[in-house]
Structure 1
Amino acid sequence: MKSQTYPRLLAAGCFLILAALIGILPAPLYGVSKEMLRVMQQMDEMQQQLQVLQKTVDTQTAVLRTLIEQTNNKVTSMQTEVDDLKKSTQHDLQHDLASNGARFDSMTSQIEALGASLDETKARLAKLGDQMAQLQNMIQTLNTPQTPANPAAGTPGGGSAAQPAPAPPPQPPDPDTLFSSGTTNLTSGQYGLAIQAFQQYLDNYGTTDRALDAQFYIGEAYYAQGKYAQAVDAYNLCLERYPAGAKLPAAQLKKGYALLALKQNAKAVRELRSLIQRFPSSHEAELARQRLRKLGAAAR
């Protein structure tokens, strides 16, 4: 009985001692240890996440740097191509301007003629309105009953019958109408009608301010048809009859172009040099210099 009681007492004592020891340890120590473990675990996880993020950033930075380098290379290549294209375009443009000077100048003249035609059309419409009003008045006058004439005047014994008065010569169209007709036909390619209208203008109004323009446009009409000899004659009349006028440089330039078209290069060179000497600061003088350079001739 005694031998069985002793082990029980020993076990009970150990239990009491263990319980006492547990009771002696401060309770907050266990709580702090667990909290520290959790914080350390979280820090470790964050450290791992930072390492992964750093690798991702490094990878993306390398890719971005590669893309930037490739973009810079493409921009440099494109800039080189643009510069080459600009140089080529400028060279081609200068060549085209030099080789097509006559055509460009002809188009410029046609545009100027079209502008003049528009102005003339407005003036013509205003005149047509006045003429319509006059015609309406005439119709009303004709419709008004007239007083019968003396019948004895037309009967035998009443004297000889009056002879009808001769018809007055037809009046030429007004200058605005003629000039407008000429410019309209010139811009629409009706060169024969344009020459006819401008020539009629010169025949009736050859001393007006626009006589030089009319003569110049006759030359333009011949030039556009490839009738270069007639064009030279028309441009000569501009230079001979009208020593002062805005169209003189253009007339002399186009005369030089027409002479070149006729293979009369020596005369053409003299004409272009004369133009440069007479009107050195004009646009036509610059075109003449370009044509002389193309011909390999000096401007002086």
Structure 2
Amino acid sequence: MSRRRDHGAVRRGLRATALVASVVAAVSGCASDERAQRAHEMATMRSQVEELRKSQEANARELARLSGEVKAVDAQSAFLAGEAKAAGEERARVKAALDESDKTLRELRSAVEELSKAAIPPPAAAPTPRSSAPDASPEQMYAAAMASFQAEEHGQAVLEFTELTKKFPEHPLAANAQYWIGEAYYRQRDFPQALVEFRKVIDGVPKGSQIPDALLKIGLCHRALRDQARAREAWEQVAKEYPGTNAATQARSLLATSGGTGRPAR
């Protein structure tokens, strides 16, 4: 009887041990599955984080590129605004100079008419050629050359103004004629030759009232030739040496808006 009880106890112990082993195995399997699932989830999250990081970096690069483009557009807009302002001021200066020339021309024509009335009528002769007559006065030659310039016959105006400077180099109108020679070349966009002629205004004798305007135009020629340093040098000279002139006002405005490469004046 005692042995039967012992055998029963052994069998119950074995069953209990087997049950415990089964539970342990089941728990271990669950733990392994949970670790695998967590490892998979962590790998997925790392992949998502990496993709998010790459996306943010791409967005940052695109934002930097767009910001650079905006700054470039802003800079170009500011430059064009400065160019437009300078062009408007240049047109105003040229208009004022032409208005003054018109006034001078009217006065010269009036003087010529008065002299013609007082002179003895010459005998009939062939029509006067386009070039000035040998006995034409400086005033007559200047008036004829200015008429050619205002008619936009710039090549003819250069010839006529040059003839005046050669025949009457000491006359007060010679300095003005030399300035308009430079202006005629400038209108033809021959900037290198315009530079040569405007410098003659500054270096010439006698000195005329056109020196500030000639310096201003020298700066514009240098800007058209993309030499911004020399352009600024000429404008600074105008502003310093002739501060009360219209040319100095224009020069200060150009200095304030310069800083680009400069483009040929229109």
Q: TM-score, normalised by structure 1?
A: 0.53
1:197 is displaced (CA, Å) by 1.2
**Selected match of 1:187 from 150, 165, 168:** 150
* Amino acid of the structure 2 residue aligned with 1:135: P
**Selected match of 2:98 from 96, 106, 110:** 110
The answer on 1:135 being equivalent to 2:122 is: yes
The answer on 1:248 being equivalent to 2:235 is: no
Partner SS, residue 189 of structure 1: coil
The match for 1:280 is 243
Question: Cα 1:186–1:208, aligned 2, differ >3 Å: closer, same or farther?
Answer: same
The runs of at least 4 aligned residues of structure 1 exceeding 6 Å deviation read none
Provide Cα deviations, 1:33-65, integer angstroms capped at 9, x if missing partner.
xxxxxxxxxxxxxxxxxxxxxxxxxxxxxxxxx
8 Å contact kept, 2:82–2:257: no
* Amino acid of the structure 1 residue aligned with 2:137: D
The match for 2:255 is 292
The match for 1:271 is 234
Aligned counterparts of 2:182 and 2:98: Cα–Cα separation in 1:
12
Aligned counterparts of 1:234 and 1:121: Cα–Cα separation in 2:
27
Match runs of 1:117-266 below 5 Å? 117-131=105-119, 133-135=120-122, 171-242=134-205, 244-266=207-229
Which consecutive residues of structure 2, in runs of 5 or more, have no partner in the other structure? Answer: 1-80, 126-132, 261-266
Aligned counterparts of 1:290 and 1:193: Cα–Cα separation in 2:
33
Partner SS, residue 135 of structure 1: coil
8 Å contact kept, 1:259–1:268: yes
1:96 is displaced (CA, Å) by 4.5
Provide Cα deviations, 1:221-251, integer angstroms capped at 9, x if missing partner.
1111211111111110000114743211111
Aligned counterparts of 1:231 and 1:135: Cα–Cα separation in 2:
40
Aligned counterparts of 1:121 and 1:277: Cα–Cα separation in 2:
37
Aligned counterparts of 1:177 and 1:210: Cα–Cα separation in 2:
11
Partner SS, residue 217 of structure 1: helix
Aligned counterparts of 1:116 and 1:275: Cα–Cα separation in 2:
25
The answer on 1:98 being equivalent to 2:61 is: no
Match runs of 1:48-127 below 5 Å? 96-127=84-115
Q: TM-score, normalised by structure 2?
A: 0.59
Which consecutive residues of structure 1, in runs of 5 or more, have no partner in the other structure? Answer: 1-92, 140-169
Worse-matched range after superposition: 222-231 or 119-128: 119-128
8 Å contact kept, 1:101–1:287: yes
8 Å contact kept, 2:170–2:205: no
1:269 is displaced (CA, Å) by 0.9
Aligned counterparts of 2:135 and 2:226: Cα–Cα separation in 1:
40
8 Å contact kept, 2:218–2:234: yes
Higher radius of gyration, 1 or 2: 1
1:95 is displaced (CA, Å) by 7.6
1:94 is displaced (CA, Å) by 8.8
1:262 is displaced (CA, Å) by 1.4
* Amino acid of the structure 2 residue aligned with 1:194: A
Partner SS, residue 122 of structure 2: helix
- Aligned-pair identity in percent equals 21
* Amino acid of the structure 2 residue aligned with 1:201: L
1:172 is displaced (CA, Å) by 4.1
